[in-house]
Structure 1
Amino acid sequence: MSEPAPAADDRIPGGIFHGPTAVQVGDHNTMHNRFVTEKRSPADAAADNLARAVAAQWEAEAGLRRLSSTLPVRWALSGRRIAGRAAGAVESSRKARFDPLPGLAPVTEEVLRNGGELAALHAVYGALPAGRLLLVGPPAAGKTAATVLLLLTALHYRQRAAPADQPHIPVPVLLTLEGWDPAAESAVEWAAGRLSRQYTSFLGARGRESARMLLNSGRIALFLDGLDEVTAKLRAAMVAALEPAPCRLVLVSRSKEAVLTGKKARLAGAAAVELQPVRPEDAADFLLDPLPEPAPKPWRTVADRLVAEPKGVLARALSSPLAVSLVREVYAEVGPVDELLDTTRFPHPRAIEDHLLDHAITAAYTPRSGYPRPDHTPEEAERTLRHIATQLTAENTHDLAWWHIPSWVDARPRALAVGAVIGLIDGAVATWAFWPDVAPIVACLNGMIVAAIFGLLAHHAITQLSRPAPLSSSSWRDVFPRGSIAIGFIHWLSAWGTSVAISRMPTGIDPMPLWVYLAVTAPIGFAATVGAGRGYRLMKGTTFYFNSFFSNQIEGRQTVAAFEGRSIGPRPVWHHHTRLRVLIGLMNGVAFGLMFGLVASFSPAGPDWVLRLAVVNTVWPALYSGLLTNIAFSTTLTAVQMNARAGTPVRLVRFLDDAHQRNLLRAVGPVYQFRHARLQERLARDH
């Protein structure tokens, strides 16, 4: 007996044999196969690509933060004056802004009031008619960790959905609100700009347009952290600017700041949920789970006290995920964890939390069996992190961008040192170049003049990089975007044709072969190519700097280095930026050296003069575009300067990556942040 043909939506490619029949009919008969395929739109493909990048980014970050074995996320409907009535958030009589995600039931007021854990929170996020969820809690309540876990839950839900449903499930993206000026750009424009700097698939003008399209079509859900970290005036403006956003929103904030913001601006139809304190029994289980059975006596004593005295000092201190996780990190399996029960040393919960924060760095950098040996002592690590925390707090920021480090100390010492070294190098090269052809005193005088000029230019370049600014170079696709090579090729041919035409004029000088003109004008095409992309600053200060029109069109664009199809982290930014700038600097120097060397090869001066001219015109372009205007080089010099002054590591960026691996810092896009704002506050205050 034949099975009924499936509905059109259930069709699959190929034929299915339904038994030994003489004649077969239907869409799936073996005599007449019919292949039904569905072509995915560019928007769906872009969303899938983003989903893969976001999943790789936050699964790796969750592993470093040890969120897979974290405490349960418990939440309840907030009773604070943050959002409107719960009934208004789930009301079905008005037109819903968003339908529930495929597979999710409409959220009811009862569901909101019952609260629950992570799965229930995802069900609320995916079914709110207005698509607006406020996630609040007191300091150290684990808001960021809960947001990351919710984001991963939403990603996994999308991955497990049927292919036909995936386009209707948005890709969650976590961004921090710091740096957004709602008066200057809309929420969509700001988010598109942030996405273009954090994910490689959105680099360049076309990438940003793709991000804008995904946001406007609701294919991206914005998880926005850090509302409490901006000024009160900006908070209200941000909430008002987010109101018309065409995508789902999850807004994360401390409870106090959320209440203050709610007095001035609210998201229509939003539901506000609040993270609940850690239950004593959950904290006890979390502490005992990794220990052998029976657990060491000090740990059993602490766990028993937590359960027996749910309102005691210890239970109130360990009511936050941060404090509970710090207990497990600070104390070894045989450590004196029961000292936390001493009410003389720790008379109130804040004393216990401060004690744990004070020992977090020591615990992270103490050698342990089975873990890589730290490259830094606990004292050096603590000294460095205190210095960094103090600097960030003075700047009123939580974002640590390594390319801003040169602004932390006085640039004059390193600018003078670099200027002197570059002046000596260029002066020596110039003296060597002219020594055989002029009097020694003239050659030395020429070298001194060259040393002074280029030393001052080097001093100026290092000083310029001491001011906080966006990165001036980016990925290969940004330095050489589509169309820039064609522009460079046109410039090259134009310059070649012009030079050939001039050479044919009646000047009495024999023209050089055509291939020589083609070779010597190649740097002009190279300059135009770089000028048309985002690496235009590489050409400033060199012998030629063409294409000012194209460089003016892109002035001020913020870019970062990246790898194709991935999220952009601090360490890849450092590596790729450094290698790219040095390599293009060498290309720049060799191009100009080749040009002048080829021209000089047709002069009667001889090969020695050709060599000297080529070297002279190679050194300065290579040094300037490869090192002097390279923010990574300036950051390295600053780290050396900070080592002499404050005792911080010379390889500072490597230290930051190590601190990230040890869960003292977290990576948010291309910048670092302290694991928790309380840790930064504590370190800065003590320093």
Structure 2
Amino acid sequence: MRGWRRSILVAAVPVVLAVVGNLATSTVQVSASWWPPVVWTATGFLGLAAVAIGVRDRASAPSVTTRLNDLDDAADWLARALRERYVQAEEQRRVQAPPALLLRFRPASEELLDHWSNIRRARPGADPGPLRLAGNSADIAKVHSRIPSGRLVVLGEAGAGKTVLVTRLALELLGRRRPGGAVPVVLDACSWDPAAPLRDWMAEQLALDHPELAASAGPDRPSLAARLVGGGHVWPILDGFDDVPPRLRKMAIEQMNLAASVPLVLTSRAAEYAATVADGSVLAEAAGIELEGLTATDLAHYLPRTSRPSPSATDTDHGGWGPVLARLRRHATDPAAATLAAALTTPLMVYLARARYSDNGHDPAELLDRDRFPTADDIRQHLLAAFVPAVYRRPSAGGWTAEAASRWLTSLARHTGGSRSGDLAWWQLRDQVPRTVRVLCCGAVHGLAALLTVTLLTVLFSHFGGRGDAVLRPGLALSGVVALVGGLSTGWPARGTPPTRTHVGVRGRLRDQVRDFVIVFFLAKAFFLPLKVILLAAGGWSLAFAFGTVTSIAVALSTAITVILLRSVEVPAEPELVSSPHASLGSSRRSALLSSGVITLACVVGVGGAFGAFGGVTVGLVAAGLAVPARLAHVLTCTAWGSWSTLTRPYLAVTGRLPWRAIRFLDNARQRGVLRQAGPVYRFRHEELRRRLAGAVVP
């Protein structure tokens, strides 16, 4: 943004100084009527040139892509970026916050796996037998290294810690990685359409999460991300296979088997993976492990150390967990303890219990109340319901209370419930605005823009000797039609326009630009020949000249300028190749303002300059204003940033579904461990929590 401000400042300062200096001293005085339009046209071009030069200098600054000399350098850069991301993910999940909760696993059922001779890549006729795969999260990398194919299936129930385990595996592999080696990349399997080959999807996701790898060396050359994948520098870890739609899981297995040379790790719930294997084939050359549930011993080693030390606490109290753990040791004969032990078998539930009791000082003994919690599921639902109030007990910069945060997160959970991938994207929140409201608001914007245009056209028509009311009356009717058509066309569609991103840079030779300018100018002017003939027959030479010749010159000039500027300055890029929601919103805003600004400036220079040359400065300014309302209406209703700023965000804030600073709230929820970030979108960190919030009653 600083580059843009510097460029605009470079353009504005000399123009302002020249205008002020001339007004103060009247040094330059020219009485010719054509002089002001020519001067202002030249000033506009000079200002635009200054902006373009500043933008080109900014775009030519060294980027990450230019520093990546070869694939080894790119892989090393990716490894450093991912290591930082995975460390932050563990910190948000409090995985390594002392103490660490060890996850145990055992070999998966052989009915779900390939032959051991294939897994171990044995010679024909050899029978090597099974591998030793039992262990815990501390030695997951060692266990994985025993698999010659590098392919592993991690099975477990919801909240069992599959994502935590593979993130730990990725960090261990990154720690052992040598320069230029393969990089483990955790990818969300739910975003994969198995109709696309595995490698193509991997390259697409890599470019989505890391825009620096999306650039290519030429128009016919693959992107840096595709070259990394094709060169074997990416080791995929596909998390959440059970979130892939059931009808696509078999196809996904087939695609992974076609890419049998790609080492990969796959996580899934056990039941969903077993159903897929029963309906098709196993994952070729893949070993398997299954996460075990936590025991009373695991809880006794972990939970007491999560409470704050207290001088009044005894050795057997452990911050309130002592009596609870004592009863858990007798769960075989204690029904209440057995119910609690059954509820705390997954790391997710233990994490929620820690957030509710250890972090907030509440007494965990209430979990043993049989009247309140007769079943293990009752305890789980209680912990899920208490999670958001627990993490929002700390004051926030936005002043959000736990009640308000719960209400907003419930609205978001219901919104993502209809999404296959569970993505929470700011531009898709437009769907929460009722269609009637969208149509009315968009129609009002287009109607006001049309009314303002008609008003300016009336002034212009009156200047050339016509009757203003002759234009005003049909113009009012036309404004109503524009409001109706504009409201329906922009507000009725269920999905709004996705955000766009632009690369900016001046390109092309001056000779080619002049040639294209002349061609576009005369082609656009030729379209007005039938209009001039009609005006000549209806009103004579005066009317034909004013609204035929002058208009044709104005529109042709603005059209030529627009085409040349957009071709030279704005180069469209792939949408949403950004690394965060903030970057996505910013790139969408810059893209909308850039394209609309270029077109508006071209119309102002072309239309205003043409009319001003024949009718004076006042006429030129009025004619130039004709281009502004339509472009403003387009930005506000037809771009992702415009819809978010003027429709979605105000509506959600007024109706209480989100705070006014919605993006800030979402990022704060990510910092508190409720959401996680995946490129330009957010997702709920725990699917069980999302389902619980989606089913909650909003007050």
TM over 0.5: yes
**Aligned residues of 1:415 and 1:463 also touching (Cα < 8 A):** yes
Partner AA of 1:194 in structure 2 = Q
SS of alignment partner, residue 236 of structure 2: strand
Q: Which residue of 1 aligns with 2:144?
A: 125
Task: Write the distance in 1 (CA, Å) between the matches of 2:81 and 2:623.
Answer: 49
Equivalent of residue 262 in structure 1, options 268, 274, 277: 277
**Aligned residues of 1:487 and 1:529 also touching (Cα < 8 A):** no
Task: Write the distance in 2 (CA, Å) between the matches of 1:65 and 1:363.
Answer: 15
Task: Write the distance in 1 (CA, Å) between the matches of 2:430 and 2:524.
Answer: 47
Cα 1:460–1:517 change in 2 (3 A) is: closer
SS of alignment partner, residue 111 of structure 2: coil
* Cα offsets for 1:361-385 (capped at 9, x unmatched): 112222x3xx535532222222222
- 1:339-354 mapped onto 2 (5 Å cutoff): 339-354=366-381
SS of alignment partner, residue 106 of structure 2: strand
Q: Which residue of 1 aligns with 2:309?
A: 292
Cα 1:244–1:492 change in 2 (3 A) is: farther
Q: Which residue of 2 aligns with 1:253?
A: 268
Task: Write the distance in 1 (CA, Å) between the matches of 2:655 and 2:263.
Answer: 48
* Cα offsets for 1:10-36 (capped at 9, x unmatched): xxxxxxxxxxxxxxxxxxxxxxxxxxx
Name structure 1 gaps, 5 residues minimum: 1-38, 97-107, 535-557, 563-567
Equivalent of residue 377 in structure 1, options 387, 401, 404: 401
Task: Write the distance in 1 (CA, Å) between the matches of 2:685 and 2:521.
Answer: 60
Task: Write the distance in 2 (CA, Å) between the matches of 1:488 and 1:403.
Answer: 39
Task: Write the distance in 2 (CA, Å) between the matches of 1:86 and 1:174.
Answer: 26
**Aligned residues of 1:520 and 1:596 also touching (Cα < 8 A):** no
- In terms of mean alpha carbon deviation, does 305-314 or 316-325 score higher? 305-314
Q: Which residue of 1 aligns with 2:386?
A: 359
- The yes-or-no answer on 1:387 pairing with 2:411 is yes
Instruction: Indicate the RMSD between aligned Cα atoms, in angstroms.
Output: 3.6
Cα 1:228–1:449 change in 2 (3 A) is: same
Equivalent of residue 480 in structure 2, options 452, 461, 467: 452
- 1:594-673 mapped onto 2 (5 Å cutoff): 594-603=605-614, 605-624=615-634, 626-636=635-645, 637-645=647-655, 647-673=657-683
**Aligned residues of 2:300 and 2:325 also touching (Cα < 8 A):** yes
Equivalent of residue 67 in structure 1, options 65, 70, 95: 95
Q: TM-score, normalised by structure 1?
A: 0.76
Deviation of 1:176 (Å): 1.5
Partner AA of 2:152 in structure 1 = L
Equivalent of residue 314 in structure 1, options 336, 340, 353: 340
Equivalent of residue 564 in structure 2, options 522, 525, 528: 525
* Cα offsets for 1:546-595 (capped at 9, x unmatched): xxxxxxxxxxxx62052xxxxx2233222332343234323332232122
- The yes-or-no answer on 1:467 pairing with 2:485 is no
Task: Write the distance in 1 (CA, Å) between the matches of 2:319 and 2:521.
Answer: 88
Task: Write the distance in 1 (CA, Å) between the matches of 2:523 and 2:171.
Answer: 64
Task: Write the distance in 2 (CA, Å) between the matches of 1:447 and 1:40.
Answer: 58
Deviation of 1:647 (Å): 4.2
Deviation of 1:53 (Å): 2.9
Task: Write the distance in 1 (CA, Å) between the matches of 2:509 and 2:249.
Answer: 44
- The yes-or-no answer on 1:323 pairing with 2:334 is no
Q: Which residue of 1 aligns with 2:451?
A: 427
Partner AA of 1:195 in structure 2 = L
**Aligned residues of 1:428 and 1:447 also touching (Cα < 8 A):** no
Task: Write the distance in 2 (CA, Å) between the matches of 1:501 and 1:179.
Answer: 46
Equivalent of residue 436 in structure 2, options 412, 418, 424: 412
Task: Write the distance in 1 (CA, Å) between the matches of 2:558 and 2:152.
Answer: 62
Task: Write the distance in 1 (CA, Å) between the matches of 2:481 and 2:572.
Answer: 29
Task: Write the distance in 1 (CA, Å) between the matches of 2:524 and 2:599.
Answer: 26
SS of alignment partner, residue 173 of structure 1: strand
Partner AA of 2:76 in structure 1 = D
Task: Write the distance in 1 (CA, Å) between the matches of 2:650 and 2:287.
Answer: 50
- The yes-or-no answer on 1:244 pairing with 2:252 is no
Task: Write the distance in 1 (CA, Å) between the matches of 2:353 and 2:510.
Answer: 60
SS of alignment partner, residue 154 of structure 2: strand
Cα 1:127–1:569 change in 2 (3 A) is: farther
SS of alignment partner, residue 268 of structure 2: strand
Q: TM-score, normalised by structure 2?
A: 0.75
Q: Which residue of 2 aligns with 1:403?
A: 427
Task: Write the distance in 1 (CA, Å) between the matches of 2:296 and 2:240.
Answer: 28
**Aligned residues of 1:601 and 1:610 also touching (Cα < 8 A):** yes
Cα 1:496–1:236 change in 2 (3 A) is: same
Deviation of 1:465 (Å): 5.9
Task: Write the distance in 1 (CA, Å) between the matches of 2:523 and 2:338.
Answer: 91
Deviation of 1:322 (Å): 0.7
SS of alignment partner, residue 272 of structure 1: strand
Name structure 2 gaps, 5 residues minimum: 1-66, 526-540
- The yes-or-no answer on 1:185 pairing with 2:207 is no
**Aligned residues of 2:121 and 2:149 also touching (Cα < 8 A):** no
SS of alignment partner, residue 184 of structure 2: strand
Partner AA of 2:561 in structure 1 = A
Deviation of 1:213 (Å): 2.4
Task: Write the distance in 1 (CA, Å) between the matches of 2:192 and 2:489.
Answer: 29
* Cα offsets for 1:219-244 (capped at 9, x unmatched): 10111112111233311110111113
SS of alignment partner, residue 81 of structure 1: helix
Cα 1:235–1:468 change in 2 (3 A) is: farther
Q: Which residue of 2 aligns with 1:157?
A: 176
Cα 1:411–1:303 change in 2 (3 A) is: same
Partner AA of 1:422 in structure 2 = H
Cα 1:109–1:302 change in 2 (3 A) is: farther
| Structure with the higher helix share, 1 or 2 | 2
Task: Write the distance in 2 (CA, Å) between the matches of 1:430 and 1:518.
Answer: 22
Deviation of 1:492 (Å): 5.4
Partner AA of 2:73 in structure 1 = A
Task: Write the distance in 1 (CA, Å) between the matches of 2:271 and 2:582.
Answer: 35
Cα 1:120–1:87 change in 2 (3 A) is: farther
Deviation of 1:262 (Å): 1.8
Cα 1:52–1:440 change in 2 (3 A) is: same
Deviation of 1:411 (Å): 2.4
SS of alignment partner, residue 235 of structure 1: helix
* Cα offsets for 1:6-63 (capped at 9, x unmatched): xxxxxxxxxxxxxxxxxxxxxxxxxxxxxxxxx9962212222322332333333333
Q: Percent identity?
A: 27
Equivalent of residue 173 in structure 1, options 167, 185, 188: 185
Equivalent of residue 276 in structure 1, options 292, 296, 313: 292
Task: Write the distance in 2 (CA, Å) between the matches of 1:489 and 1:178.
Answer: 50
**Aligned residues of 1:492 and 1:521 also touching (Cα < 8 A):** no
Task: Write the distance in 2 (CA, Å) between the matches of 1:41 and 1:526.
Answer: 33
Task: Write the distance in 2 (CA, Å) between the matches of 1:561 and 1:451.
Answer: 38
Deviation of 1:408 (Å): 3.3
SS of alignment partner, residue 223 of structure 2: helix
Cα 1:498–1:424 change in 2 (3 A) is: closer
